[in-house]
């Protein structure tokens, strides 16, 4: 609070709303400055603040969300050059740095293999080991990061999420960290063969015809060939890439393996790959909610996938996995940010949207385990409400 009694609060830039009165910068990585206080007039203005490196701003709480003559529209000016101040390394920033390093290596490997160049797997093994260690204390944060994806980069984002979920699944099954690391790397590169698939087939929005389907299915063969030629890839990694489209009843591809021909790692890869594909938003379609995806997978359990493993996977990631948008009893929408293993129906959520007013509301963290007045009604699709779930998750 200022000397004049004006109430101020610090708001992350990605949580600003049109009409808010900004009176100063609270945190930034760049050198921008505000020439005067002003009101946010558009979402483009918020994006500009983010581009300038402004992370948090001071907002006048008791200022009505409307324009008046006493405040100009927000403006920016450059400050003289000065050495950037190092930020303290928090546990969250460490986790994000480890995750981003693995993601960067994944992109590098995809490009090198696309060019026919050999890759050095050792940096990825090191990054994967750090990620596996972080799963012990920061699993929800990592799963949040993996959940954030760009619909126009489906191949990379899907592979990344499959790798993270496979490692997490392996952890929940009591597999040692060496196996978890192999599952993570195998998942991150399981679709590498798609670099050989023609773009007109790979990115076709509609249903593939028989000839196109045959071409698409060849990516599994290409994945095995590409990884088998590289040094350092284990049998588990290659198995994840080779068998994630095989089915217990032999109806899968490319070899039609079935039953005992599929190891536990192949069966895990099938479940995780299908789950992530079903729940992912694509440019041309909305993904299913986790509940709908579980229902679909359970419909094929016993015939196409391992029912016992599937049930363990559902318990592992929870009825409402991290990143799920849910409708609350209070008629708000919220995003699940932390699971509750003891009470899976009462996770920690971030309230983001008021259905009564059809508008975003100030973000509010709610631990449903300690707030009995509130509860989840159902999982919903963000796109059904014209929302993008990534806008409400930490990057």
Q: Give the chain's domains with CATH numbers.
A: 8-78 (no CATH), 91-317 (1.10.3210.10), 325-392 (no CATH)
Mean pLDDT of all residues in 68-82: 42
Highest average pLDDT, of 51-60, 177-186, 310-319, 336-345, comes from: 177-186
User: For 342-379, what is each residue's pLDDT tens digit?
Assistant: 888 899 999 999 999 999 899 999 999 988 899 999 99
Q: HSE on the CB side for 328, CA within 13 Å?
A: 28
Highest average pLDDT, of 143-157, 162-176, 273-287, 314-328, comes from: 162-176
Residue with tokens 């980069």: 153
How many angstroms separate the CA atoms of 32 and 47, rounded? 14
Mean pLDDT of all residues in 299-326: 91
Per-residue pLDDT band at 71 (split at 50, 70, 90): very low
Residue of 313, 378, 323 lying closest to 345 (CA atoms): 378
**370, two tokens:** 């300690």
pLDDT of 66: 39
Mean pLDDT of all residues in 110-123: 92
**181, two tokens:** 């690391």
pLDDT of 194: 94
Residue 61 has pLDDT above 90, yes or no: no
Contact criterion met (CB below 8 Å) for 350 and 334: yes
16-30, 218-232, 250-264, 377-391 — which is least confidently predicted? Answer: 16-30
pLDDT of 9: 82
pLDDT of 36: 54
pLDDT of 244: 97
Mean pLDDT of all residues in 189-210: 91
139-153, 278-292, 320-334 — which is least confidently predicted? Answer: 139-153
25-39, 211-225, 379-393 — which is least confidently predicted? Answer: 25-39
User: For 84-113, what is each residue's pLDDT tens digit?
Assistant: 444 445 666 788 888 889 989 999 999 999
How many angstroms separate the CA atoms of 104 and 102, rounded? 5
Q: CA triplet 163, 304, 251: central angle to 5 degrees?
A: 105
Residue with tokens 């992350």: 12
**151, two tokens:** 């619909």
Q: What is the mean pLDDT of the chain?
A: 84
Residue with tokens 């440019």: 283
Residue 174 has pLDDT above 90, yes or no: yes
Strand partners, 349: 336, 366
pLDDT of 307: 94
How many angstroms separate the CA atoms of 278 and 69, rounded? 51
pLDDT of 25: 84
Residue 171's alpha-carbon distances to 123, 167, 233, 342, 347, in angstroms, are: 22, 6, 20, 17, 20
How many angstroms separate the CA atoms of 18 and 40, rounded? 5
User: For 217-248, what is each residue's pLDDT tens digit?
Assistant: 999 999 999 999 999 999 999 999 999 999 99
**Direct distance between the N- and C-terminal alpha carbons of the chain, in angstroms, rounded to an integer:** 29
Which contiguous run of DSSP H or E holds residue 354? strand 348-354
Q: What is the DSSP string of 184-208?
A: HHHHHTTTGGGGGS-HHHHT-SS--
Residues 6+ apart with CB under 8 A from 291: 319, 378, 379
Backbone angles phi, psi at 39, to 5 degrees: -100, 145
Per-residue pLDDT band at 75 (split at 50, 70, 90): very low
Per-residue pLDDT band at 385 (split at 50, 70, 90): confident
pLDDT of 302: 81
């Amino acid at each position: 609070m200022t000397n004049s009694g004006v109430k101020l609060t610090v708001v992350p830039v990605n949580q600003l709303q049109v009409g808010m009165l900004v009176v100063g910068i609270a945190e930034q990585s760049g050198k921008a400055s505000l020439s005067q206080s002003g009101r946010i007039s558009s979402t483009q203005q918020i994006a500009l603040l983010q581009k300038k490196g402004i992370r948090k701003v001071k907002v006048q709480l008791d200022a009505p969300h409307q324009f008046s003559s006493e405040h100009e529209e927000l403006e920016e000016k450059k400050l003289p050059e000065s050495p950037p101040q190092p930020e303290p390394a928090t546990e969250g920033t460490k986790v994000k740095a480890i995750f981003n390093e693995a993601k960067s290596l994944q992109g590098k490997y995809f490009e090198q293999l696309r060019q026919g160049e050999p890759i050095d797997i050792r940096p990825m093994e090191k990054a994967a080991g750090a990620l596996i260690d972080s799963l012990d204390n920061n699993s929800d944060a990592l799963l949040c990061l993996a959940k954030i994806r760009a619909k126009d980069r489906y191949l990379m984002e899907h592979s990344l999420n499959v790798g993270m979920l496979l490692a997490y699944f392996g952890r929940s099954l009591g597999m040692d960290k060496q196996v978890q690391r192999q599952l993570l790397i195998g998942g991150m590169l399981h679709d590498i063969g798609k670099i050989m698939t023609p773009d007109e087939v790979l990115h076709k929005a509609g249903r593939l015809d028989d000839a196109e389907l045959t071409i698409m299915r060849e990516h599994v063969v290409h994945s095995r060939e590409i990884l088998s030629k590289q040094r350092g890839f284990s049998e588990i990694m290659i198995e994840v890439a080779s068998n994630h489209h095989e089915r217990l009843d032999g109806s899968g591809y490319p070899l039609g393996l079935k039953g005992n021909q599929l190891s536990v790692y192949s069966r895990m890869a099938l479940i995780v790959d299908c789950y992530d594909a079903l729940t992912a938003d694509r440019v041309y379609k909305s993904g299913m909610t986790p509940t709908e995806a579980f229902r679909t997978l359970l419909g094929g359990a016993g015939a196409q996938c391992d029912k016992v493993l599937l049930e363990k996977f559902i318990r592992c990631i929870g009825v409402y996995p991290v990143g799920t948008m849910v409708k609350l009893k209070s008629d708000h929408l919220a995003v699940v940010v932390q699971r509750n293993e003891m009470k899976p129906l009462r996770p920690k959520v971030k309230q983001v949207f008021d259905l009564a007013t059809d508008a975003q509301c100030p973000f509010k963290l709610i631990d449903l385990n300690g707030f009995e007045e509130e509860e989840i009604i159902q999982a919903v699709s963000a796109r059904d409400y014209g929302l993008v779930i990534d806008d409400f998750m930490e990057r």
